Amino acid sequence: MLIKNVNKLLYILLIVIIVLLIALSTIVIVYFFRKSSSRNGLYRKDECIVNYSDIIKKNSIKYKVDENLIYAIIMTESSFNKDAVSKAGAIGLMQLMPDTYEDIKGKLGYDQPAETALRDPEINISCGVYYFVTYCSGLGDNASIAAYNAGPNRVKSWLMQSDSEFDLTLEEIPMDSVRNYVKKVRLYYSSYNYHYGIAKNYNNTILQRESAAEYAIKYGRKYKVDYNFIMAIMETESSFYCYRVSKTGAIGLMQIMEDTFRVDIANNLELDDDPDQLFDPEFNVMSGSYLLHWLDDRLDGITEIATAYHVGINQTLAWLQDENYSSEGHLVVEKLPEEVQNYLFKVTGFYRRSIRLDGEDKAYKFEE
């Protein structure tokens, strides 16, 4: 009887082992199938590379954007369906709204109707990347991606309330849909980098602080401007993002308008350079440093100079003559528009940060 019971137990144990082996095999097969699918199906860069890789690479180089990030945005937006149309009416690979296309098409030389143009991969990707670089990038990694989905103005308002110094954490994105969007883009981006390697065809667009400080010191000494103030303006305007172009057309590290460059900088310094040269980091810092010198000759005080850099010297002079905005010949920060107050708050904070990190400019230190 004992032997029979042992045999019965062994038989049951054998069945259990067989079942476990089958289950384990199934798990392994599903894992590798999903892994294969994630590379060749879910992420689908292999399938679309023939159709879209040249367009994406061209715009990656033109606008200095990581091509794998472009792939990730397209995958998140449309799964590479060039005819995709969202419930809100966004069209094509990068899911652009017709109104957005109408706003930017002239700058890119397009004149076709949105319904036709945005189904053309060449036009759609060109417009999508241009929109991302011009309106969304430079806000921070998460914030820039969120801005493409939720709109830059909304994300900028979130940044003003953020505890993070230069970006939004995922937890600080208040909308679930936007938070999930950012997660997806970052997931696809990481996957493309893992499977296909980090793109090598675009330049690093963030200037290292050491290089920024080197330029600030060089041109601060040349134009007799506190280099910490130059650093503060640079960090406030662009977060050291070399290729940033603002909604109003300001260019580069120190966000210089083309007209300002031509009239107040190139004209005075007798430069023959085209405004596109402002995308060069050192040239931009040189130009911005001279502009601060130009303003310093006409205004008294770091608040006044920073305000004029932001809103223009004419507006600043008008406020200085209006007691609703000034007192005893100086601007009263609390009386200025909230947006200007926020700008000055950032400049002041970054100025102190630069003194701490880059050392005090003992020759040309500005008084706060």
Q: Read off the pLDDT of residues 43-65 as tens digits, 9 standing for 90 and up.
A: 455 555 557 888 998 888 788 78
Contact 305, 344 (CB under 8 A): no
pTM of the model: 0.52
Residue 142, domain member (yes or no): yes
Last residue of a domain, one of 140, 166, 196: 196
Residue 31, domain member (yes or no): no
Residue 204, domain member (yes or no): no
pLDDT tens digits, one per residue of 207-228: 889 999 999 999 999 999 999 9
Contact 241, 226 (CB under 8 A): no
CATH code of residue 265: 1.10.530.10
SS3 317: helix
Residue 1, domain member (yes or no): no
Same domain, 239 and 106: no
Residue among 336, 368, 333 nearest 350 (CA): 368
Residue among 276, 248, 246, 252 nearest 262 (CA): 276
Q: What percent of the chain has pLDDT over 70?
A: 84
pLDDT at 115 over 60: yes
Can you give the pLDDT at residue 247?
61
Q: Residue 54 pairs with which residues in a beta bridge?
A: none
Same domain, 173 and 232: no
Q: Is 103 exposed, middle or buried (0-12, 13-18, 19+ CB in 10 A)?
A: middle
Can you give the pLDDT at residue 41?
46
Contact 287, 254 (CB under 8 A): yes
Query: What tokens appear for 349 in the block?
Result: 């904070």
Same domain, 300 and 262: yes
Same domain, 121 and 262: no
The identity of residue 133, as a single letter, is V
pLDDT tens digits, one per residue of 260-276: 999 999 999 999 988 88
Give me the domain span that covers residue 301.
209-358
Last residue of a domain, one of 196, 219, 235: 196
Distances in Å between the Cα of 4 and the Cα atoms of 7, 12, 16, 296 are: 5, 12, 18, 101
Residue 279, domain member (yes or no): yes
Residue 26, domain member (yes or no): no
The identity of residue 188, as a single letter, is Y
Same domain, 141 and 283: no
Residue 367, domain member (yes or no): no
Say how many domains are in the chain.
Answer: 2
| Active site positions, annotated | 77
Last residue of a domain, one of 138, 170, 196: 196
Confidence category of residue 129, pLDDT binned at 50, 70, 90 = very high
Same domain, 215 and 74: no
Residue with tokens 């003992």: 362
